[in-house]
Chain A
Amino acid sequence: MPGPSTAGMTRRERYEAQQKRRSALIAATSTVTVVAALYFLVPLAPGWAKVQQSFFNGEVLIKTFPKLLDAFRINVMIFAWSAPAIAVLGLLIALARDAKSPALFPLRIFGAAFTDVFRGVPVILTVYLIGFGIPGLGLPRPWNSPYIWGSLALILTYSAYVAEIFRSGIDSVHHSQRAAALSLGLSERQVMRDVVLPQAIRNVVPSQMNMLIALQKDVSLLSFIGPVEIFRQAGVFKSLLANFTPYVGAAIIFLVVTIPATRYADHLMARQMRERR
């Protein structure tokens, strides 16, 4: 039944428009059904009243939210100084592992050992070992601060992963680019700096975005060695109010940050896939 809006359409366009309407209708119906089912069925569960009371308590949420937001600033702060350090150290490790000169052989070994060790140990263990171990040496204030050593643990762990991503980026630059640069008389070092690295870094931006998102979440692991960041703050409220809602509040705050970031990373990734084709 071609309406007035479909007047100028070709046969094919009419067919596709119809299919599109059909798909939208089905998607809407199915979404409404699933949401309605959840909305009506979940409260029928025997423990729902208790769960709602202890996890989704509006009063508690409103009361604790500002403080949680406040504590989240600690997360942001630790993230803000760790991320650049990770980028720099990760790049240095990646370059060290690709060093060709025999004089730099120890660096290569070191780079390999570094990535093996820090990728092989759970983050929380590294946080514990460094965060408790180094201040245990009896360092004077402020050098015994868990902020410093906890951040260092994150920096070391994440640098190992970030270094591997940089290396894959370096490998992804076609060898003909290297040949072209060398043929102009550039040195190996200049080829790396001016030709390979700029392309390599651009190629791995989406992957590194994902590492940043993971880091933002893992900052919370530092709560185990002292800093009262958002997860720890939520824990304090939980004990105080005998209610788990602050954890949900913390989760909401994380999501507000991570969802746009994840979407953006996906967008970059998709664009890159299109460009490669």
Chain B
Amino acid sequence: MPKLDLRGVVKQFGDHMVCNGIDLVVEEGQMVCLIGASGAGKSTLLRCINLLEPIEDGAIYLDGQDISVPGLNPQSVRARIGIVFQSFNLFPHMTALENVMLAPRRVRGQSRAQLLPEVKALFERFGLADRMNKYPDQLSGGQQQRVAIVRALAMKPEVMLFDEITSALDPQLVGEVLDVLLMLKGQGMTMVMATHEMGFARQAADKVCFLKDGRIVEEGPPQSIFETPTQDATQRFLARALK
């Protein structure tokens, strides 16, 4: 059974079809990269998986359970699926540590004291041990994004979604964030990421999907997508993106 199984997902904003029947299978421990021009529907698809956007048609299965049933309480699903955003979205009135502890405290009812050892360990693992008590505006973009990743991981999610998490970073900070993803991949995390980092997708993805106008036009292992794309649209996109 696939970890995540999307069947015919349709998402509309008014008359605008953002996701136009998307099928996608993500196996346990896989890293799937969504590539495509801005507006192709990558971000919206991720937000749909996290139930931040309700879908109009189709279904999304997590471990075989349909999580897109209307009326389902989204909280329990969201606690199992972490998402990290392009703009970090750390809570500016809390320190990095408080940002990370908020959800485990509120959703799982754990105390600060209970959480501290494991959260500390997370900070250390991602090279942020000396940044725990800083506020977001005292951190660099790369540090903020890594804290955002730690914040999502603190809920022990089964799947992580990454929405162009390096797009808002200065080029020299991109590497430190992508390294974190490689680390997670090494630990067997199931991940879906929308990205413009073609080099990274080629190197790290198990599967690459090219989206255009709300559809997956072509998908496959990175070698075939990047070296022998079969669709015109994919070839045109890559010609521009890899220039």
Residues of A within 8 A of B (CB): 176-177, 179-187, 190, 194-195, 198-199, 202
Given A184-B107, A190-B106, A176:B87 Cβ within 8 A: yes
Query: Which of A184, A190, A194, A195 is most buried by chain B, counting CB atoms within 10 A of its CB?
Result: A184
A183 touches B82 (CB 8 A): yes
User: For window 123-166 of chain B, which residues contact chain A by CB distance below 8 Å?
Assistant: 148, 151-152, 155
Number of chain B residues whose Cβ lies closer than 8 Å to a Cβ of chain A: 25
A192 vs chain B, min Cβ distance (A) = 12
Task: Name 27 interchain pairs, CB-CB below 8 A, sorted by A.
Answer: A176-B87, A177-B91, A179-B47, A179-B89, A180-B85, A180-B89, A180-B91, A180-B148, A182-B52, A182-B78, A183-B50, A183-B52, A183-B78, A183-B83, A183-B152, A184-B82, A184-B102, A184-B152, A185-B76, A185-B107, A186-B102, A186-B103, A186-B106, A186-B107, A187-B75, A195-B102, A199-B91
Check: B93 CB closer than 8 A to any chain A CB: yes
Contact digits for B20-32, partner A, Cβ 8 Å, 1 yes 0 no: 0000000000000
**A57 vs B55: C-alpha distance in the bound complex, in angstroms?**
77
Given A180-B91, A199-B92, A185:B103 Cβ within 8 A: yes
- Chain A residues lying within 8 Å of B106, measured Cβ to Cβ, are 186, 190, 194
- Chain A residues lying within 8 Å of B89, measured Cβ to Cβ, are 176-177, 179-180
A142 vs chain B, min Cβ distance (A) = 42
User: For window 92-119 of chain B, which residues contact chain A by CB distance below 8 Å?
Assistant: 92-93, 102-103, 106-107
Check: B79 CB closer than 8 A to any chain A CB: yes
- Chain A residues lying within 8 Å of B78, measured Cβ to Cβ, are 182-185
**A177 vs B82: C-alpha distance in the bound complex, in angstroms?**
15
- Chain B residues lying within 8 Å of A177, measured Cβ to Cβ, are 89, 91
- Chain B residues lying within 8 Å of A181, measured Cβ to Cβ, are 91, 102
A135 vs chain B, min Cβ distance (A) = 44
Known: A184-B82, A187-B75, A194-B91. 13 other contacts (CB 8 A): A176-B87, A179-B85, A179-B89, A180-B85, A181-B91, A183-B52, A183-B152, A184-B107, A184-B151, A184-B155, A185-B78, A186-B107, A198-B93
- Chain A residues lying within 8 Å of B148, measured Cβ to Cβ, are 180
**A249 vs B151: C-alpha distance in the bound complex, in angstroms?**
58
- Chain A residues lying within 8 Å of B93, measured Cβ to Cβ, are 198-199, 202
- Chain B residues lying within 8 Å of A179, measured Cβ to Cβ, are 47, 52, 85, 89
Given A176-B85, A179-B52, A179-B85, A184:B92 Cβ within 8 A: no
- Chain B residues lying within 8 Å of A187, measured Cβ to Cβ, are 75
A39 vs chain B, min Cβ distance (A) = 51
B241 vs chain A, min Cβ distance (A) = 26
**A184 vs B138: C-alpha distance in the bound complex, in angstroms?**
23
**A194 vs B47: C-alpha distance in the bound complex, in angstroms?**
22
Name the residue of chain B whose CB is nearest to the CB of A174.
Answer: B89
B111 vs chain A, min Cβ distance (A) = 16
B121 vs chain A, min Cβ distance (A) = 19
A57 vs chain B, min Cβ distance (A) = 53
**A17 vs B89: C-alpha distance in the bound complex, in angstroms?**
44
A184 touches B79 (CB 8 A): yes
**A186 vs B82: C-alpha distance in the bound complex, in angstroms?**
12
- Chain A residues lying within 8 Å of B151, measured Cβ to Cβ, are 184
**A113 vs B140: C-alpha distance in the bound complex, in angstroms?**
47
**A194 vs B91: C-alpha distance in the bound complex, in angstroms?**
9
**A28 vs B47: C-alpha distance in the bound complex, in angstroms?**
62
Partner of A184 from B47, B87, B103 at Cβ < 8 Å: B103
Name the residue of chain B whose CB is nearest to the CB of A202.
Answer: B93
**A239 vs B148: C-alpha distance in the bound complex, in angstroms?**
69
- Chain A residues lying within 8 Å of B47, measured Cβ to Cβ, are 179
B150 vs chain A, min Cβ distance (A) = 12
A181 vs chain B, min Cβ distance (A) = 7
- Chain A residues lying within 8 Å of B107, measured Cβ to Cβ, are 184-186, 190
The 7 closest A-B pairs by CB, nearest first: A185-B79, A180-B89, A184-B103, A185-B107, A185-B78, A183-B83, A198-B93
